[in-house]
Copies of this chain bind each other. A is one copy, B any other.
C-alpha cells in the first residue's frame, strides 16, 4: 500500500523516487463512482446532511444535490503555519541564547552519495541556519563500515553542543539500520523513532522525549486550525512506524476515538466515511475519493505522490493520497499537496531540537 510514498516523513528518510513511467500513476482523480454502499452510507449515517432530506434519492440525484451546494473546504495552509512556527522557534532560540548562552545544535550523519539525501540534508541545514540552530554534519563514503557510522554517533552522543542527532536514511544496504538507529542516545533522538519513545507515546501517564516529526506536524496543523480532536472519530490511513502508527497514538492521547485503516482493511471506504478527522499516509495518488468522506470532515493528507504530467517541465507533478478536487467539495478543511503537511516536518524537527536543548539545560 505504501509503495509510492514520496515524502520525507521521517525527517531523516530520503524520498523514494519511483519511475515516473509506473503504470499506477494517475493524471487526476478517477471519475466519481457511486457504488450501492454509498447510497447506504449517506442515507443511513447520522451525519447531518442538510441538503438531503429524502433518504431514497438515487445516486445521480445525490451528485447533483452535492454539486449544487458548491461546498468548498477551508484549505489548511501548512506552508504558512510552518513559517509561523519557525519564527516562534527563532524567537525562543534567541531568548535562550541571551539568557543562558546556549545555542541548540543538530547533527546529521549522511552516508553515501545519493543526490536526494544530499538535498534533504542541505535543506535541513538551511532551515537550521534560518532559526539559529547550529548544524553539524558528518559525510561518510558509501563504503564505510558500520563501526565508522557507530563511532560518529558515539561522538555526537557525547558532544554537549549537540542536542539532536539524525541519521539520514536510507543507509547503504550492508548496514544494520535498526542497530545504527538504536545507538542514537534516546535524549538526542529528535526523530522520535526509538521504541522507548514510541512506547511512552503509547502509554497513558508516560511522556515521550520526542514526538516523531510528521505526525507531530499533523496534530499541530489540527490545533492551529482550531479543530477539536477530543471526542471525535478519527481514522488514520496507513500504519507505518514513521507516520500512521504514531499519528494514531497522538490522536488517541488527545481523546479521539481512533481507527487505523490499512492494506488488510475490508471496505476501507466505509470506515473512512465515519471519520470526523482523517489523516492519510499511504502514498497512493488520489486514493481517497470524495465519496469516501463524511460531509464536514477534516482531512490531513500526508502523501506526496508523483503523477505523470506532460505539461509540467519535470514531466510530473505531486499530488496527495486524497483526491483533492473531489474532497474539497465535501470536507470542511483539507491540507493541499504540496504545501500542507510537507513544510511541517522540518519545522517539527527544529522544534524537537529546541526542546531537547531546553530540557538538557533545564530552561523553560
CB distance from A164 to the nearest CB of B (A): 19
How long is the Cα–Cα vector from A46 to B260 in the complex, in angstroms? 20
How long is the Cα–Cα vector from A205 to B258 in the complex, in angstroms? 22
How long is the Cα–Cα vector from A357 to B240 in the complex, in angstroms? 32
Known: A198-B203, A199-B197. A258 touches B259 (CB 8 A): yes
Q: Which residue of B lies closest to A194 (CB)?
A: B199
Query: Which residue among A200, A202, A239 has the maximum number of chain B CB atoms within 10 Å of its CB?
Result: A202
How many copies of this chain does one complex carry? 2
Contact indicator per residue, chain A 303-333, by CB within 8 Å of chain B (1) or not (0)? 0000000000000000000000000000000
A241 contact set on B, CB distance < 8 A: 203-206
How long is the Cα–Cα vector from A194 to B44 in the complex, in angstroms? 44
> 8 Å CB contacts to B: which residues of A166-211?
178, 194-206
How long is the Cα–Cα vector from A243 to B96 in the complex, in angstroms? 42
> 8 Å CB contacts to B: which residues of A244-258?
245, 249, 252, 255, 257-258
* Interface, chain A (partner B; CB < 8 A): 37, 40, 43-44, 46, 178, 194-206, 230-231, 233, 239-241, 245, 249, 252, 255, 257-262, 264-267, 270-271
Q: Which residue of B lies closest to A196 (CB)?
A: B196
A196 contact set on B, CB distance < 8 A: 195-196, 199
The reply to whether B202 and A200 contact each other, CB–CB distance below 8 Å, is no
Q: Which residue of B lies closest to A200 (CB)?
A: B195
A46 contact set on B, CB distance < 8 A: 37, 40, 267, 270
Across the interface, A203 reaches (CB within 8 A) one of B195, B257, B259, namely B195
The reply to whether B266 and A231 contact each other, CB–CB distance below 8 Å, is yes
How long is the Cα–Cα vector from A245 to B43 in the complex, in angstroms? 34
Contacts A46-B270, A196-B199, A203-B245 known; list 18 others, CB within 8 Å: A37-B46, A40-B44, A195-B202, A195-B203, A199-B200, A199-B201, A201-B202, A202-B245, A204-B239, A204-B245, A206-B241, A255-B262, A255-B264, A257-B260, A257-B261, A257-B265, A258-B259, A259-B259
